[in-house]
Amino acid sequence: MSVSRTAVVAVEEIFALRWAVLRTGLPRETAVYPEDALPGTFHIAAYDEAGAVRGCATFFPDTFPGEAATAYRFRGMGSAPEVRGQGFGGAALTAGLRECAARGAALAWCHGRTSASDFYRHMGFERVGEEYLLEPSGLHYDFVTKDLLRD
Residue 139's DSSP bridge partners are 133
Q: pTM for the full model?
A: 0.93
Strands 42-47 and 71-79: unpaired
Tens-place pLDDT, residues 61-115: 999 988 888 999 999 999 999 998 899 999 999 999 999 999 999 999 999 999 9
Instruction: State mean pLDDT over 27-40.
Output: 93
Domains and CATH numbers, the chain: 5-145 (3.40.630.30)
Q: Given a cut of 60, is residue 150 above it in pLDDT?
A: no
Instruction: State mean pLDDT over 24-43.
Output: 93
Instruction: State mean pLDDT over 6-17.
Output: 96
Mean pLDDT computed over every residue of the chain: 92
- State the Cα–Cα distance between residues 92 and 81, nearest whole angstrom: 15
Q: How many helices (H) and strands (E) does the chain have?
A: 3, 7
- Contact between 55 and 78 (Cβ < 8 Å): yes
